[in-house]
Amino acid sequence: MSKSPSCAERQNKDSRRRNLNGRERFQRTMHFQSVDRAPMIEVGCWNQARDRWLSEGMPTGTGLEESNLTYNGNRFFGLDEQLALDLKLGIMPPFEEQLLEEDEHTRTIRDANGIVQRVMKDSSSMPRFLSYPVRSRADFEAMKARYDPTTPGRYPANWQEIVSASKAGERPVWGPGIGSVGFYSMMRTWMGTEAACTIFYDDPPLAREMVEFIAEYVMAALKRALEEATLDYFMWWEDFSYNGGPLVSPRIFQEFLMSGYRRATDLVRAHGVDIIFIDTDGDPRVLIPLLLDCGINLLYPLEQCNEGMHPKAIRREYGHDLLLWGGVDKRALTKGKREIEQELLTKLPPVLEDGGYIPQLDHLAPPDIPYENWLYYLELKRKLCGGHHA
């Protein structure tokens, strides 16, 4: 890969583009073109992080009091805005939510997906999942009715406004938005992690039927959006990896999941969307060649669970074939300014200057990040990205 110009050199080379809007900046970054600065994007924080920051001086009125994910276009933090299509591709109608049991510290509930789980009242840990709605072929057949692409409400009431905004060309537009889906992730929602891993061995025909159903459903649900709106990138939500690798092997991916990905991704690309990313935590590196073969060309959020997941390492191996988004180790922010500087200033510049990369925390900001560190991280990242928020 040839040496790319620095961020400053790229800015000087194309001074006419100093006032890019968000969509132009995103598209040019993702196509390795000159930009005024890199996009400033973050995804959100834990509820406990928000509460801590409020106690440490974060003012009210930032938007975080309403939702820990109110980062999109957050002006207080100087973040760029994106437009989501907000399609509801999840379960409709949902299961009736029920409180099944309660004690001093926990609540056992059945949630909208039909999953029975025990949750901590103070949200201090992940839920303990107790049972799932799909345990047999009959359960799967019943579940299909809740994934009808024609169900009213899958498209938001203000859909025409979203379409108009998507064509305005000011903000990058991503789809599908609410209820983002994937193949393994949907099977896991139906059956749980263990069953979603073993079904490929225990009942291969049923696994293939599930993948085929999901592919047909997603393509039918997206048809109107692809025909009417203008998209910049498409997202698959999977989370099928942990720090030791993916939960599905390359053989299982190739034999069972690949056909569904390829069909749906080909449809999206046929409508002019050439940035297609997969969202998975952990280490999915052994699957990257297969993802690329499916037309998926952006990896997110590059969780720093080992050295091989660093943006520099992945860029070194795959060059410009693979776009990158994330990769800032959230653990550095829990320490001090020196560690934050080490993380940003010594690790990221080569990839950032090369292009095709958006720096962002590798997950939600956890509660052990002090508010002062969070602000320092944003300030330093803004300088590293090459400018100030407009």
What average pLDDT does this structure show over 96-112? Answer: 95
Q: Tally the domains of the chain.
A: 2
Domain-located, residue 44: yes
Whether residue 220 is found in the same domain as residue 303:
yes
Domain-located, residue 229: yes
Whether residue 304 is found in the same domain as residue 334:
yes
Whether residue 73 is found in the same domain as residue 120:
no
Which residue(s) pair with 360 in the sheet? 327
Q: What is the pLDDT of residue 178?
A: 59
- Of the pLDDT bands very low, low, confident and very high (cuts 50, 70, 90), residue 68 is low
Whether residue 21 is found in the same domain as residue 125:
no
* 125: number of Cβ within 10 Å: 8
Domain-located, residue 1: no
Q: What is the pLDDT of residue 15?
A: 38
Intra-chain end-to-end CA distance of the chain, in Å: 33
State what percent of residues in the chain have pLDDT above 70.
93
Q: What is the pLDDT of residue 387?
A: 60
Indicate the residue among 75, 104, 132 that finishes a domain.
Answer: 132
Whether residue 127 is found in the same domain as residue 244:
no
Q: What is the pLDDT of residue 193?
A: 95
Whether residue 62 is found in the same domain as residue 117:
no
Indicate the residue among 132, 155, 181 that finishes a domain.
Answer: 132
Q: What is the pLDDT of residue 291?
A: 97
228 in Cβ contact with 173 (< 8 Å): no
pLDDT at 4 over 50: no
pLDDT at 189 over 60: yes
Model confidence, pTM:
0.90
Highest mean pLDDT among 47-56, 179-188, 372-381: 372-381
pLDDT at 16 over 60: no
Q: What is the pLDDT of residue 2?
A: 38
CATH number assigned to the domain comprising residue 252: 3.20.20.210
CA dist 70 → 66, 80, 125, 281 (Å): 8, 12, 21, 21
Torsional sign, CA 233, 236, 241, 245: negative
Query: Which residues neighbour 244 within 8 Å (Cβ) at sequence distance 6 or greater?
Result: 282, 283
Whether residue 124 is found in the same domain as residue 202:
no
Looking at per-residue confidence, does 321 or 124 come out higher?
321
Q: How far apart are CA 141 and CA 146, in angstroms?
A: 10
pLDDT at 135 over 50: yes
Whether residue 355 is found in the same domain as residue 326:
yes
Mean pLDDT score of the chain = 91
pLDDT at 145 over 60: yes
Which residue(s) pair with 175 in the sheet? 234
Domain-located, residue 75: yes
Q: Which residues of 143-166 are buried (b: 16+ CB within 10 A; e: fewer)?
A: beebbebeeeebbbeebeebbebb
Whether residue 127 is found in the same domain as residue 35:
no
* 45: number of Cβ within 10 Å: 25
Q: How far apart are CA 65 and CA 290, in angstroms?
A: 41
Domain-located, residue 104: yes
Q: What is the DSSP letter of 320?
A: G
Residue 114: phi, psi to the nearest 5?
A: 85, 10
Question: For residue range 277-316, what is the model confidence (pLDDT) as tens digits?
Answer: 999 999 999 999 999 999 999 999 999 998 899 999 999 9
282 in Cβ contact with 288 (< 8 Å): no
Q: Which of 4-13, 40-49, 116-125, 246-255 has the lowest mean pLDDT?
A: 4-13
* Polymer length of the chain: 390
Q: What is the pLDDT of residue 121?
A: 86
Residues spanned by the domain of 117: 96-132
Whether residue 236 is found in the same domain as residue 268:
yes
Whether residue 38 is found in the same domain as residue 147:
yes
What average pLDDT does this structure show over 121-129? Answer: 83
- Of the pLDDT bands very low, low, confident and very high (cuts 50, 70, 90), residue 18 is low
Domain-located, residue 390: no
Domain-located, residue 15: yes
- Helix segments in the chain, DSSP class H: 7-13, 22-30, 47-55, 137-144, 159-168, 183-191, 193-202, 204-228, 250-252, 258-270, 288-293, 311-318, 337-345, 349-354, 371-385
Whether residue 332 is found in the same domain as residue 251:
yes
Q: Which residues of 62-98 are buried (b: 16+ CB within 10 A; e: fewer)?
A: bbbeeebebbbebeebebbebbbbebbbbbbeeeeee
Domain-located, residue 372: yes
- Of the pLDDT bands very low, low, confident and very high (cuts 50, 70, 90), residue 8 is very low
pLDDT at 13 over 60: no
Looking at per-residue confidence, does 1 or 144 come out higher?
144
106 in Cβ contact with 120 (< 8 Å): yes
State what percent of residues in the chain have pLDDT above 90.
81
